[in-house]
Structure formats: structure tokens, C-alpha cells
Amino acid sequence: MDALSVIEKRLEHLNQLLGPLPTDEGQSENLTEAILSAASFLPSASTGHLSDGAARSAILESFKRKDELEAYLDPAFIEEKQDIKAKEMYINTIANDLAGTFETLQKIKTLEPTLGAEYFRNLPDVSDQLKAMNTTMAEQKQANELLEESLVIAMQRYGEIQAGIKDSLKGMTDRLDQLEERLAQKKKEDKDI
């Protein structure tokens, strides 16, 4: 039931984003009904047996954007993407500041003999520390890229798992239908006897 509740939440979220669907002859249709109605067109759209070319192109266009929709509707994806973006912005901001500070220090060191001031000679040498910090920042940036790649792989695996659950649910529904048919036949036979 967890898979169904997740799908239901995602559909409700999409309903909220899209707003009410346009009415057709005074009847309103929710998103679930619209998806089920569109699902009936999918087999004929994929084989090219639709008489309406506009309907076929609209369905094919929706197929092209399916991955984008799945990624957008995944509640965890948005939060993870925001976390990654925040970390990236922080790293990029700090890296630029460190690079600027390192360049300024190098300029000061080149101007030291010209200025001849004694306090320039007493400055501690932090270039090694700045280089180490730059290296650390580069490593963190690489780690974030690896994290982003692993998130994409995890999302793909999530899609595979979701497809497997849908198939399992369909199989269970088919078995329940068969059992109901057998039960109805058995009751009918019992009544006949």
C-alpha cells in the first residue's frame, strides 16, 4: 500500500500544480481519470493506429517529457537537488575568495622588495595552507559531482523499482479478478444444485 500512497500523493501534487483540468460538456475530470483515459490511447498511439494525427503527436510529445515529469514529481529529488545546489554555490563562492586571496598574497610578495617595508617581511607564509585549501575545495567539488551522479543512478533505480511494483500490482489484480470469477461460478453452481 505504500507504493500506492506515494503515487496518490504525487498525483495530488500534480493536480495542485496544474489546477483544474478544462471541462468537457459540463463534466469535470480529475488527473487520475485523465491519466487513465490517456492510457487507453497509448497502445494505439505506439502502433500508429490513431485516426487523429494531432492526438498521436500530443501523446508522443508527452512521452518525450515523461522523464522530466517523473524527476519533478519525486519529492526527495527536489530537496536533494536544492542541497546539492546550495553546496555547489558555497564551494564556488569560497573557491573564488580563496583564489583571490592567494593572488593578492602573491602580488604583495612581488611588491615587497619595491616597497621595502619591514612589516611585509614578517608576514607568515600561508601559501601552502591556501594551496591545501584549494585542493580540498577541488576534492569537495569532485565529491559533489559524484554525489549528483549517484543521485541520478538512484532515481533511475527508483523508476525501475516503481515499474516492478506496478507490474506486481497488476498481476495481483489479475489474480484477484480470476479468483472472483471462480467464486462467482462456484456460487452459481452451488445455487443450481
Determine the average pLDDT of the residues in 3-10: 73
Inter-CA distances, 91 with 84, 88, 96, 103, 144, Å: 10, 5, 9, 18, 10
Residue 41 or residue 143, greater confidence = 143
- Residue 98's pLDDT band, with cuts at 50, 70 and 90, is confident
If you average pLDDT over each of 49-63, 92-106, 109-123, which comes out highest?
Answer: 92-106
Mean pLDDT over the full length of the chain: 77
Q: What percent of the chain has pLDDT over 70?
A: 65
pLDDT for 167 equals 93
CA distance 93 to 50: 54
C-alpha cell at 72: 519533478
CA distance 100 to 105: 9
Q: Are 98 and 130 in contact (CB under 8 A)?
A: yes
Closest to 130 (Cα-Cα) out of 91, 169, 87, 101: 101
C-alpha cell at 113: 622588495
